[in-house]
Structure 1
Amino acid sequence: MLLSMQGISKAFAGVAALRSASLEVGRAEVMALVGQNGAGKSTLIKILTGVYRRDEGTIALDGREVDFAMPAESQAAGIATIYQEINLAPQRSVAENIYLSREPRRFGMIDHAAMRRGAEAVLATFNLAIDVDRPVARFDAATRQMVAIARAVTQNARLVIMDEPTSSLDEREVAVLFETIRTLKRSGVSVIFIGHRLDELYAICDRVTIMRDGQTVAKSAMADMSKMDLVRHMLGKELAAFQAMAADGATSDRPVRLAVEKAGAGVRVRDVSLTVREGEISGLAGLLGSGRTETARLIFGADRMERGTIRMDGKARDYREPAAAIADGIGLVSEDRKVDGIVPDMSIRENMTLALLPKLRKAGIVDRARQDEIVARYIRALGIKCASPDQPIKELSGGNQQKVLLARWLATDPRVLIVDEPTRGIDIGAKSEILKLLRGLADEGLSVLMISSELEELLAAADRVTVLSDGSSVAEIARKDLSEAALLAAMAHQMPQGETA
């Protein structure tokens, strides 16, 4: 056994993040580490790598007990971590990144020729031949992953931890990464693979460790654990809640709250028409580049619409800026919560009430009592797990960050809520929670426009789906006709010449 973590416990501000958790990794083994956001995976890894100190428990590496006080100590012991946001110096060359702070020297000077040879040699072990003198920023995400892995190999890593390594990769790039992981395994290196895409876990991992609520709840060989059993362990319940969430009965007789007619702007949005009725979830589907997010930005006033009409409750609107859309009762939970959503160093309270600040001010001063009441109400209503409203939002799991963003817009009392990829980057259990929240809001009368690239989510939650292709709406599918086959057929409609679905 290469790694053994036993009885690991950790609490933050009195809130238990880990409770007697355990993890074992064998030599030359790929171990899947899975669980909902907030299950304790990141905390366990940060304790292993010396970012956090454990409150209880033992860690043994290669049979010897260790206690890393800082990341540099774990790195020196042969543990390398490759985070979801790859930690490279983008304007430095590939060779410089691989040997950063460990540059080979000759006569006291950096030996660039030796560094170049070393970088080319280690990349060659992964069948990657690139110009190592080019800045890493000029390469795609998969190549940057390879560079980060090469840096770990040159540090003589015995254990490589990969945190959501496929989140920004396409299918071809995932195949390259998986072959690299197999190469590491053949050379005797072990890998901890943190992910939530089940097909990928079964394709690359030997065993799985499942965490829930800060505890290790199951361990198994991947071949002995069915996908449904894996999900049940993660959730602690059946997954039935993720099925058939759409409204009871048709919504086609309800009043139209939002109507977009022949909207266009530039080449990304050519001719989009859609409707969102009162108290329904209207889905917006399409392949990458179909214009889904661009359409949402036009509706919200973040981009200017060049042609077409937007109507709210039958009245034409011309939103020239988001403030106008917000004032008219439209909210937008953006696709990338880290870039366009949360302010990471601000508290939960501050993030939640950002859009409401104009209404909370009296004589230029925020009404703190009213702010506290609103924040407490939505923390309770949405089940946001946090130590306190003053906790920095960056410390929350992805699912809880998403709930804070939903609360931000719900606090403005919107009539239409646009949610762009509301479950991206969060685990299955949190996905189910978010979709149930949206369903409940629609049942209370809110009109929801849900953009999703996950067909399962649209099939589970949407009352109707508008499909976009190449910037145009090509189909509107009612709930009674909604199926995976219908969605895929619509997405393949009007494909550019020479392409196939």
Structure 2
Amino acid sequence: MGQEVLLQMSNISKEFPGVKALDNVSLTVKRGTVHALMGENGAGKSTLMKCLFGMYNKDGGTIKLEGKEVNFKNSKEALENGVAMVHQELNQALKRNVMDNIWLGRYPKVGGVMVNERKIYQDTLDVFKELEIDVDPKRVMSTMPVSQRQMVEIAKAVSFNSKIIVFDEPTSSLTEEEVEHLFRIINMLRDRGCGIIYISHKMAEIKRISDEITIMRDGTWVATEPADDLSMDDIIRLMVGRELTNQFPPKTNKPGEVALEVEHLTAQYSMLKDVSFNVRKGEIVGIAGLDGSGRTETLENIFGIATRKEGVIKLDGKVVKNRNARESIKNGFALLTEERRATGIFGILSIRENTVISSLKKHKKAGLYLSEKSMKADTKWSIDAMRTKTPTQETKIRSLSGGNQQKVILGRWLLTEPEVLLLDEPTRGIDVGAKYEIYQLILDLANKDKVVMVVSSEMPELLGICDRILVMSGGRLAGEVDAKTATQEEIMTLAAKYV
């Protein structure tokens, strides 16, 4: 394995108003290696990468690529110099097709004037063939699942002949099979002499794929070690600065009588078919299944943001129509969506505005104006309860890390005091410490006799926090298991039932 230094970031510092995001952080990536970058949400991992990529101007420090000092002014310049980044939250031209997204801004021209469509198509096919990606170059981006859109992003990075490729939480929306495919691609790039920077919270993945691991905490560098020398416990201790003995809070909720009844739920535009189940007061019910099994669709149909064909939903014995989100909120339902950037946050608004936007009614004074005092108080509760890392309540939500944005949205829904909380991948892209806090909040709700339903791709998570797990397969309910006694194998067998 070549040990030549490819990228050297030394003493990088970056301040935002009220926050020292990076404090003298250094990172060395060698040619032909995978270097994992780990740390809790808000540790500064993404900020460090944005400084490399020219999205932020660093306040201090130097960046050298192949021994030459570089200061990219924007991502285009970084890409042209062989530094690419595959973002966790994909920013793509969704109305355009796959090949447009890959070659945007650098189309091959015929006679220097006309865009050479045939060459673009062929070049796209060549990159896909090399990476074993099975996607039609002419397919419109918005019609594809997140996992395929991510593969397009990876193909784009490779098409620039990048020397350094940064993967930011690349597997958060991939199935196990897709993860294996991604790892094959990463290993191929490593063997070619690329330097890969891999950001993830998934310990087992990191241990499997990386050669070296750098750990950051609160904007500072903590350690860089060979991956083989660090156990999972070591990594957690270095990341959170404390021992985390239990991943999940002790189960204290006691399910009561049936509260939510779903009968023969069938969707208009997805394959969801004849799904029936009950959830009791104070019960946490998980929904497992492979990607595309109908997990998300089940929650969306209950919440009324997807079109139901047939089916009845009852809460405490009364039929609720839930024809749209507004009606569902009025009926005591709340839904935390999986794609938080697209459907969860109002990026240009502050944390306070994002927090209280679904519970404005209770802040109305004399029916006319909104009480600043009560909005501040609720936002303070949310920030404290979630331990959200933010300089102030006025900070724009888009400047927070993904995990902290997730906490703001969860706080927003808790403030509507829902009877039924529907959570779609509530801890996606969130670090171990913050996960525990979110599990505790879920448990607190169950202890208040609320109904909680959780969709998650992480089976240990479902087994750790749920009372029962419903398993979806091919749009149908394949069965249910008791979380106390079930095994991952049992769940996987059911998940494959109608595939």
Partner of 2:322, secondary structure, is coil
CA contact (8 A) 2:86 2:167 kept: yes
Q: CA deviation at 1:173?
A: 4.2
Please name the residue that 2:229 is paired with.
224
Please name the residue that 1:109 is paired with.
113
- Number of residue-to-residue matches in the alignment: 488
Q: CA deviation at 1:453?
A: 2.5
Q: Distance in 1 between matches of 2:430 and 2:84?
A: 24
Q: Distance in 1 between matches of 2:56 and 2:462?
A: 39
With over 3 angstroms needed to count, the CA separation of the structure-2 counterparts of 1:381 and 1:16, relative to structure 1, is: same
CA contact (8 A) 1:86 1:148 kept: no
Note the alpha carbon deviations across 1:360-385, whole angstroms, 9 max, x for none. Answer: 33444323232222212222222111
TM-score (norm. length: structure 1): 0.85
CA contact (8 A) 1:261 1:310 kept: yes
Q: Pick one of 114, 120, 127 that aligns with 1:123.
A: 127
CA contact (8 A) 1:260 1:309 kept: yes
Please name the residue that 1:162 is paired with.
167
Q: Pick one of 176, 195, 207 that aligns with 1:190.
A: 195
Q: CA deviation at 1:85?
A: 4.6
Please name the residue that 1:299 is paired with.
302
Q: CA deviation at 1:244?
A: 5.5
Please name the residue that 2:155 is paired with.
147
Indicate the larger mover: 61-70 or 187-196: 61-70
2:51 is the alignment partner of 1:47 = yes
Pairing 1:53-452 to 2, within 5 Å after superposition: 53-86=57-90, 100-103=104-107, 108-109=112-113, 112=116, 119=123, 123=127, 126=130, 134=138, 137=141, 140-141=148-149, 143-153=151-161, 157-243=162-248, 245-247=250-252, 251-252=254-255, 254-266=256-268, 267-277=271-281, 279-303=282-306, 305=308, 307-361=310-364, 362-452=366-456
CA contact (8 A) 1:91 1:135 kept: no
Partner of 1:298, secondary structure, is helix
Which amino acid is the alignment partner of residue 7 of structure 1? N
CA contact (8 A) 2:462 2:483 kept: no
CA contact (8 A) 1:11 1:55 kept: yes
Q: Distance in 1 between matches of 2:352 and 2:113?
A: 52
Pairing 1:469-480 to 2, within 5 Å after superposition: 469-478=473-482, 480=484
Q: Distance in 1 between matches of 2:135 and 2:417?
A: 54
TM-score (norm. length: structure 2): 0.85
Note the alpha carbon deviations across 1:399-443, whole angstroms, 9 max, x for none. Answer: 221221121122122222221221123233332221122123323
With over 3 angstroms needed to count, the CA separation of the structure-2 counterparts of 1:85 and 1:258, relative to structure 1, is: closer
Note the alpha carbon deviations across 1:306-365, whole angstroms, 9 max, x for none. Answer: 555433233343333333332232222122222222122221111111111234334443
Q: Distance in 2 between matches of 1:403 and 1:65?
A: 38
CA contact (8 A) 2:110 2:116 kept: no
CA contact (8 A) 1:210 1:218 kept: yes
With over 3 angstroms needed to count, the CA separation of the structure-2 counterparts of 1:136 and 1:206, relative to structure 1, is: farther
Q: Pick one of 423, 437, 459 that aligns with 1:455.
A: 459
With over 3 angstroms needed to count, the CA separation of the structure-2 counterparts of 1:66 and 1:458, relative to structure 1, is: same
Q: CA deviation at 1:470?
A: 4.2
Structure 1, unmatched stretches of 5+, are none
With over 3 angstroms needed to count, the CA separation of the structure-2 counterparts of 1:90 and 1:162, relative to structure 1, is: same
CA contact (8 A) 2:50 2:56 kept: yes
Q: Distance in 2 between matches of 1:268 and 1:51?
A: 41
Q: Pick one of 15, 18, 22 that aligns with 1:14.
A: 18
Q: Distance in 2 between matches of 1:319 and 1:86?
A: 30
2:469 is the alignment partner of 1:465 = yes
Indicate the larger mover: 434-443 or 59-68: 59-68
CA contact (8 A) 2:90 2:150 kept: no
CA contact (8 A) 1:263 1:308 kept: yes
Indicate the larger mover: 319-328 or 340-349: 319-328
CA contact (8 A) 2:463 2:484 kept: no
Q: Distance in 2 between matches of 1:373 and 1:330?
A: 23
Identity of aligned residues (%): 38
Structure 2, unmatched stretches of 5+, are none
Partner of 2:246, secondary structure, is helix
Larger radius of gyration: 1
Please name the residue that 2:488 is paired with.
484
Q: CA deviation at 1:242?
A: 1.3
Q: Distance in 2 between matches of 1:150 and 1:212?
A: 30
Which amino acid is the alignment partner of residue 23 of structure 1? L
With over 3 angstroms needed to count, the CA separation of the structure-2 counterparts of 1:368 and 1:306, relative to structure 1, is: same
With over 3 angstroms needed to count, the CA separation of the structure-2 counterparts of 1:122 and 1:208, relative to structure 1, is: farther
CA contact (8 A) 1:163 1:195 kept: yes
Q: Distance in 1 between matches of 2:311 and 2:126?
A: 55
CA contact (8 A) 2:259 2:278 kept: no
Indicate the larger mover: 65-74 or 291-300: 65-74
Q: CA deviation at 1:397?
A: 1.6
Indicate the larger mover: 81-90 or 37-46: 81-90
With over 3 angstroms needed to count, the CA separation of the structure-2 counterparts of 1:48 and 1:35, relative to structure 1, is: same
With over 3 angstroms needed to count, the CA separation of the structure-2 counterparts of 1:478 and 1:372, relative to structure 1, is: same
With over 3 angstroms needed to count, the CA separation of the structure-2 counterparts of 1:4 and 1:300, relative to structure 1, is: same
With over 3 angstroms needed to count, the CA separation of the structure-2 counterparts of 1:366 and 1:422, relative to structure 1, is: same
Which amino acid is the alignment partner of residue 156 of structure 2? A
Partner of 2:160, secondary structure, is helix
With over 3 angstroms needed to count, the CA separation of the structure-2 counterparts of 1:261 and 1:226, relative to structure 1, is: same
Q: CA deviation at 1:450?
A: 1.9
* Root mean square deviation, CA, Å: 3.4
Q: Distance in 2 between matches of 1:420 and 1:129?
A: 27
Q: Distance in 1 between matches of 2:135 and 2:325?
A: 44
Q: CA deviation at 1:204?
A: 3.2
